[in-house]
Amino acid sequence: MKTLKFIVLALSFSLLFSCQCKTKSDCCRRTEKKIALQMYSVRDTISKDFKGTIAALAAMGFKDMEAAGYADGKFYGLTPEEFKAELEAVGLNALSSHTTKQLAEDVSKTNWEEVWSWWDTCIAAHKAAGMKYIVAPWMEVPKTLADLKVYCDYYNQIGEKCNEAGLSFGYHNHAQEFQKIEDEIMYDFMLNNTDPEKVFFQMDVFWTVMGQKSPVDYFNAYPGRFELLHLKDLRELGQSGMVGFDAIYRNVETAGAIYSIIEVEKYSYEPLESIRKSLEYLQTAPF
């Protein structure tokens, strides 16, 4: 009987691991499919050679792109359909995009008809490009919590519109969101005053650290709110030792993160080489 139980257990473990990983290499690199690239990382090269740049990114092994070139219903001067086709031609997918519409400096003077007209065009364009996410990449720091509450309500409404179109809406931070407005941390106020069903947060881990805060502390305080992560360092990923990527990856389930998105703003090498080194850092890191 003991022998039979051992055989059953051995078969069970064998099936468990065979379902998850067909090879040891596959197990070690199982997160590769969820690593995307923020196209701001190639802002200079893509403006000179769009086709060549996206082909080079595809050759590195990327599958998903986050755009940073939306304007007037187009992406990098291309219609949504053209942009989608160009990416798909080299094996890439349009995952998400950074764009937003700021309110008037005095929010009470905002032309809401103009704002919502802009968003209707924006959402339709992103849907036509096949994207899953629209992310507001920044906002001015309001002077009062009342004005910040207007922005939170605004983001909830954008999120509702995106949801109706089959998209999700999120907010991307810099360091400024960790300053206080009327004795409340701006980022915490935003997390507490937006609806999790309508607004997710794309944490930029580098800027969070620059704001003297811990990404993991936020994951634990607001579990499930960080559907996308922006992985960034002073230059290439892992280059500075300033960001605890190992601790971040130990807590991605708590964060609720589905995609890790590489962004390289400053370079030690040519942009494409810096991006390749950043991708390899993630693929080969023990975490």
Q: Over the stretch 44-63, which tens digit does the pLDDT of each residue have?
A: 999 999 999 999 999 999 99
**Domains along the sequence of the chain with CATH:** 34-284 (3.20.20.150)
Q: Over the stretch 125-177, which tens digit does the pLDDT of each residue have?
A: 999 999 999 999 999 999 999 999 999 999 999 999 999 999 999 999 999 99
The one-letter amino acid code at 104 reads: A
What number of residues does the chain have? 287
Q: Considering only 23-37, 100-114, 174-188, which range has the smallest mean pLDDT?
A: 23-37
Q: Over the stretch 67-119, which tens digit does the pLDDT of each residue have?
A: 999 999 999 999 999 999 999 999 999 999 999 999 999 999 999 999 999 99
Query: What's the whole-model pTM score?
Result: 0.88
Report the relative pairing of strands 180-181 and 184-185 from DSSP bridges: antiparallel
The one-letter amino acid code at 23 reads: T
33 in helix, strand or coil?
A: helix
Q: Rounded mean pLDDT of the chain?
A: 90
Structure-token match 């359909």, residue found: 81
Decide if 136 contacts 190 (C-beta within 8 A).
no
Decide if 236 contacts 274 (C-beta within 8 A).
yes
With 80 as the cut, is the pLDDT of residue 8 above it? no
Give dist(CA 163, CA 152) in Å, integer: 16
Nearest to 11 by CA among 19, 26, 25: 19
